[in-house]
Chains A and B, each alone.
Chain A
Amino acid sequence: MKRLATKLGFYASVFVLVSPAVLVFLWMISLSLKNELDNTAFPPVFIPDPPTLKNYVDVFAQNNFGLYLWNSILVTGGAVLVGLLVGVPAGYGIARGKATKFAILILIARMTPALSYLIPLFLLFQITGLVGTITALVITHLVITIPIIVWIMIGYFENVPMELEDAARIDGATTWQAFRHVALPLALPGVTIGGILAFIFSWNNFIFSVVLGGKNSRTLPSAVYNSLTFEQISWGPLAAAALLVTLPVLLVTVLAQRQIVAGLSAGGLKDG
């Protein structure tokens, strides 16, 4: 009897832990599938009846959503790609060269608020005429992607045993070849994790696009925010848009949850 009670208590605590997350996301889905009348009803209508996809259609039809989606893909894609190309070798160089001070610099860069880079970069882009361009946003998002990728790669390369590369070099491989054909394949899980986390943090970034994005170059998060401030608030389309913005990230989280957990405990953590 007592064991049953303990067990029930345990499941109750699991339920309590998980329900805030579940409820908020379910409410988001519910809002996005209801018509405006039901969304502003009080007491609230919980289950859409009948569910409608009109909000989603409206989002794409009225708000240039397609353009902003494409901007987000370009900015995040570009920043993650450059981040990987540059950050993976750098992680290797730091790990093997034992460049501790550079590693600390990377850590501080990861911890510095994104907001604090904005004033100088804004001035820089103003001088170079890049304010409001996708290029400016890609460059700025490197502030997010490079430190996270380098930081994770340092950890992974440090765990690749040096002996293997030594053996390759004794066989006549250059340092580059030892990196490319010995260390890199072994640290590939780190590349995946670094890429995934860089994607999530860059995709979620809001403030860079608010300040540096132009009317036609802003990314999804700031575009959705702007639709909140400049139009009459209608909850259905807004919830639908919010859900669409965060959907890619949530899908990646579900699909790659094991890698994400591993990456976060390897020092990924959040950015902002």
Chain B
Amino acid sequence: MTISTSMPAAVPRPPSVAFQHSADFTPRYWLFSLPAVLIIAGVIVFPWLFTLYMSTQDWKIGGGPEFVGLQNFAELFRDARFIESMGHTAYFTILAVVLPIVFGTAAALVFHREFPLRGLLRTVFVMPMMATPVAVALVWTMMFHPQLGVLNYLLSTVGIGPQNWVYDPGTVIPTLILVEVWHWTPLVMLIVLGGLAGLPKEPYESALIDGANNWHMFRHITLPLVWPFIMVAIVIRTIDALKAFDTIFVITQGGPGTASETLNIFLYLQAFQFYKIGYASAVVVIFFVMIIMLSLLLLYARQKSKWNA
């Protein structure tokens, strides 16, 4: 496609206006996206549609599909294990969102200030979120060991008795949240730090003149101004917490019993342990609806924060 075919015959307008705003220029850009469109259709959109189809089938690997309508969904909501996993997911998600948001915002306020070695220390702080989840999960598993783990030793030095960490149904989810907080607080920090970088100076100057203290300035100036960024962080954290799989799978496989079986683990077990792919696909569909709603919320939050991406 050359300029001659795509430029309209009458060009009284300045060319730049025509290039920017005219709709007839869009088709020639389709070709750029074509290879990606084909691959995305194959590995992303096809799986979505096929999952939708599978969710209406009674289908086990090895057998053939049989149409059952919405029966998989009806069955899911009667499945105590599924309901329980929803509860675990809600418990896990709430804490795995709130704690990183609080710590990450505090960390952003710290890293927003100038201090020696800031760049290096920020890199160190960000490292957990980049590290391979399986690798750190293995190390955490060793640290949680009730007899030989380093965490129980550290607790004993401050006079706290040994904990069972992931080996006790009562403490397994809070322990996994500890790992999640360690892993993902840096992401919140980065997002909020981006917001802080764009703050105007003037409100602080006039507040100082009015004799405001640090807390007042944070509460009444900083927080309202970076709130849109915190919203973005909240939505992203929610999506990520719902998706959490690797660390839970490596550390507990959903155990002890089913005490840490979240939606994701439930889905994995149904599909690849019990081979009930129709049933598991119904879980994916429910998951997918939640993710789409959250993604749209993210788009909205991102627009509000004028986060250019």
Contact = CB atoms under 8 A, between A and B. Distances in A.
A155 interface: yes
Interface string A135-152: 000011011001100111
A240 B288 CA distance: 37
B54 A120 contact: yes
B83 interface: no
B131 interface: yes
A166 B51 CA distance: 44
Given A17-B107, A90-B37, A206-B133, A175 B138 contact: no
B204 interface: no
Interface in B104-153: 106-107, 110, 113, 115, 119, 121-136, 138-140, 142-143, 147-148, 150, 153
A143 B44 contact: yes
Given A166-B19, A175-B29, A112 B291 contact: yes
The interface centre, meaning the residue of A115, A200, A222, A267 with most chain B CB atoms within 10 A of its CB, is A115
A4 to B, nearest CB: 15
A113 B291 contact: yes
Interface stretch (B72-80, B166-174, B218-226, B266-274): B266-274
Contact of A142 (B43, B124, B246): B43
A169 B44 contact: no
Given A97-B33, A174-B2, A249 B139 contact: no
A215 interface: no
Contact of B131 (A121, A250, A266): A250
Contacts of A235: 142
Contact of A175 (B28, B128, B133, B139): B28
Contact of B295 (A21, A42, A111, A123): A111
Contact of B29 (A42, A92, A211): A92
A171 B51 CA distance: 50
A246 B215 CA distance: 40
Given A116-B47, A249-B132, A265 B30 contact: no
A252 B127 CA distance: 10
A81 B249 CA distance: 29
Given A44-B150, A155-B308, A206-B133, A86 B39 contact: yes
Contacts of B153: 42-44
Contact of A123 (B39, B150, B277): B277
Per DSSP, chain A at the interface is helix
B291 A86 contact: no
B182 A20 contact: yes
Contacts, number: 295
Interface stretch (A54-62, A63-71, A253-261): A253-261
A13 interface: yes
Given A108-B292, A169-B19, A42 B126 contact: no
A112 B33 CA distance: 21
B191 interface: yes
A5 interface: no
A163 B15 CA distance: 9
Contact of A272 (B3, B27, B135, B245): B245
A1 interface: no
Contact of A116 (B1, B16, B19, B284): B284
Interface string B156-170: 000000000000000
A241 to B, nearest CB: 8
Given A94-B33, A123-B277, A115 B267 contact: yes
Interface of B: 1-3, 6, 15-16, 19-20, 25-37, 39-40, 43-48, 50-51, 54, 106-107, 110, 113, 115, 119, 121-136, 138-140, 142-143, 147-148, 150, 153, 182, 184, 186-187, 190-191, 194, 236, 239-240, 242-246, 249-250, 264, 267-268, 271-272, 277, 280-281, 284, 287-288, 291-292, 294-295, 298-299, 302, 307-309
Given A121-B47, A269-B236, 18 more contacts: A22-B124, A27-B150, A28-B135, A28-B136, A43-B153, A92-B29, A94-B29, A104-B299, A116-B287, A139-B43, A146-B40, A170-B3, A207-B246, A245-B134, A246-B131, A254-B127, A261-B126, A265-B194
Interface of A: 10-11, 13-14, 17-18, 20-22, 24-25, 27-28, 31, 40-44, 82, 85-87, 89-90, 92-94, 96-99, 102, 104-109, 111-124, 139-140, 142-143, 146-147, 150-152, 154-155, 158-159, 162-163, 165-166, 169-170, 172-175, 179, 200, 203-204, 206-207, 211, 220-222, 224-225, 228, 235, 238-239, 242-243, 245-246, 249-250, 252-254, 257, 260-261, 264-267, 269-270, 272
24 contacts: A10-B115, A18-B125, A21-B128, A21-B182, A24-B143, A25-B127, A40-B148, A86-B36, A97-B33, A99-B33, A112-B48, A113-B242, A113-B291, A116-B51, A119-B271, A120-B50, A120-B54, A143-B44, A155-B309, A162-B19, A211-B272, A228-B138, A239-B138, A253-B126
